[in-house]
Amino acid sequence: MSAASPPASFVIVANRLPVDRVQGPDGEEIWRRSPGGLVAALEPVMQAVDGAWVGWAGQAGLELAPFREDGIRLLPVTLSDADVEEYYEGFSNDTIWPLYHDVISSPQYHREWWDAYVRVNRRFAERAADAVAQGGTVWVHDYQLQLVPALLRELRPDVTIGYFHHIPFPAHGLYAQLPWRDQVLQGLLGADVVGFQRAQDATNFLAAVRRRLRLEVKGSTVVAPYGGPRTVTARAFPISIDTVPYVELAARPDVRARAAEIRAGLGNPKKILLGVDRLDYTKGIGHRIKAFGELLAEGRLSVEDVTLVQVASPSRERVDAYVQLREEIELAVARINGDHDTMDHTAIRYLHQGFPREEMVALYLAADAMLVTALRDGMNLVAKEYVATRDDHRGVLVLSEFTGAADELRQAVLVNPHDIEGLKDAIMQAVEMPPREQTRRMRALRRRVLENDVNAWSRDFLAALDDVRSNR
């Protein structure tokens, strides 16, 4: 922290800073706040206590002094080209990501990647240690930074540390593959509170701690010897969305008009099905497309009546598994469209693009059914966004059992996406669902999402950290 900045009583540590570097109106480079719910939830907290946020600005080699944006102090961590390749694309996205998503794609284990992960985690921990006030609170986010809690505790034993894990934590049988499995558990146990999306993730973590480190687990707590003995709590804090902008956009006349325009542009099909995902192998996009293609081939659906819109936003394009996934999906889409399109109607409108939030909400409003068929997903916010926009209480959410969201959104049409026949039946159920049943289900889903928004989530997590501090 620069000499001019006072220490911060509250510090967030995340791989990315909550800002993106974009072109301003006159072609100059400016910072724009990232649209994510995490920033929205934490902004009031950050502003109230003059908090600081440690993270990477998203460009390799960029060295930046601390700066301030929208009342939040930003403390940039520099990553070199090699750091991005080995710590971020390598260990984070090609080792941990596939391993923690049940090895849907094969995790790559490379010792140089691990070394980079340790090196970069230490850099983040040092930056946080430098910024936080005596007795302050640090909240670390996600799988890129699992070693930060313990590294930070070594440097700053006075600080209360929380960690939230946004992705699944796998069963021990899979976790045990990781050559550095004990070190990662020890890293996480540096926190006072380790938060997960689902109860099952916390259970998996605690089972790994018990089996690998031979520590005694009692309920949701474990006594850790590192920097202790200290009690570490591990439990579920299911994340949610900032519902306000979704509800507001869904009510805007221009957004509603745009939804009608989208429908007309697709040739006014009776039903629009929608998928919105980062183009990632965890999202089950291929399974969804396969099921839809078979329904067309069998004549259970026709392109005159039903169109599938698939937004697949570009993601991790330098990681091999993602390059291969893109080829597979695009081949499947082209085949189905080639077989079934007419001059006026398309089977799948595939968009490998990112869109502004207004357009996403217009799509949610246009969609008669939202297909979330992830093979494994920490939570899946798209499911919650769709529900938040449906103030007409219409529309059907088809939701994979393997998402964190399925633990909460029980009135969705729940599916096992590996079961293609079951998935086809679920799509048919959504297409044919009577309006009254749609309303009954959607009302219950909306109540759940609107009452448990991202503010409730951050409040819960911070309250758990406060408990730790007051019991010190």
Which residues contact ligand GDG (rule: CB under 6 A)? 35, 166-167, 239, 276, 278, 311, 313, 354-357, 360, 377-382, 385
Contact in structure between 119 and 86 (CB atoms under 8 Å): no
* Tokens standing for residue 345: 């109607």
Q: Which residue has the tokens 């499947």?
A: 332
Of residues 387, 432, 429, the one with CA closest to residue 408: 387
Q: How far is the CB of 98 from ligand GDG (least distance, A)?
A: 12
Q: How far is the CB of 396 from ligand GDG (least distance, A)?
A: 18
Cis peptide before 229 (omega within 30 of 0): yes
Nearer to ligand GDG, 122 or 352 (CB): 352
Nearer to ligand GDG, 150 or 374 (CB): 374
Classify residue 96 by its DSSP letter.
I
Q: How far is the CB of 239 from ligand GDG (least distance, A)?
A: 4
Nearer to ligand GDG, 321 or 379 (CB): 379
Q: Which alpha helices (H) appear in 53-110, and where do they start and end?
A: 81-83, 97-100
Nearer to ligand GDG, 33 or 278 (CB): 278
Q: How far is the CB of 403 from ligand GDG (least distance, A)?
A: 7
Contact in structure between 148 and 187 (CB atoms under 8 Å): yes
Nearer to ligand GDG, 155 or 456 (CB): 456
Q: How far is the CB of 204 from ligand GDG (least distance, A)?
A: 15
Q: At CA 361, angle to CA 365 and CA 460, rounded to 5?
A: 115
Q: How far is the CB of 1 from ligand GDG (least distance, A)?
A: 28
Strand extents, DSSP E, 318-358: 348-351
Neighbours of 313 (CB within 10 A): 15
Q: How far is the CB of 436 from ligand GDG (least distance, A)?
A: 29
Burial class (CB within 10 angstroms; exposed 0-12, middle 13-18, buried 19+) of 113: buried
Nearer to ligand GDG, 79 or 374 (CB): 374
Buried b (16+ CB within 10 A) or exposed e, 451-463: ebbbbebbeebbe
* Tokens standing for residue 5: 């900045």
Q: How far is the CB of 371 from ligand GDG (least distance, A)?
A: 13
Q: What are phi and psi of 259, to 5 degrees?
A: -60, -40
Nearer to ligand GDG, 303 or 325 (CB): 325
Classify residue 75 by its DSSP letter.
E
Q: How far is the CB of 144 from ligand GDG (least distance, A)?
A: 12
Nearer to ligand GDG, 261 or 437 (CB): 261
Nearer to ligand GDG, 202 or 379 (CB): 379
Distance CA 451, CA 439 (A): 18
Nearer to ligand GDG, 381 or 397 (CB): 381
Q: How far is the CB of 101 from ligand GDG (least distance, A)?
A: 8
Nearer to ligand GDG, 186 or 243 (CB): 243
* Tokens standing for residue 443: 């009302």
Contact in structure between 277 and 312 (CB atoms under 8 Å): yes
Distance CA 330, CA 351 (A): 10
Q: Which residue has the tokens 């596939």?
A: 98
Helix (H, G, I), strand (E, B) or coil at 287: helix
Q: How far is the CB of 338 from ligand GDG (least distance, A)?
A: 25
Longest dimension (CA), the chain: 70
Strand extents, DSSP E, 352-404: 369-372, 396-400
State the pairing for strand pair 230-236/348-351. Answer: unpaired
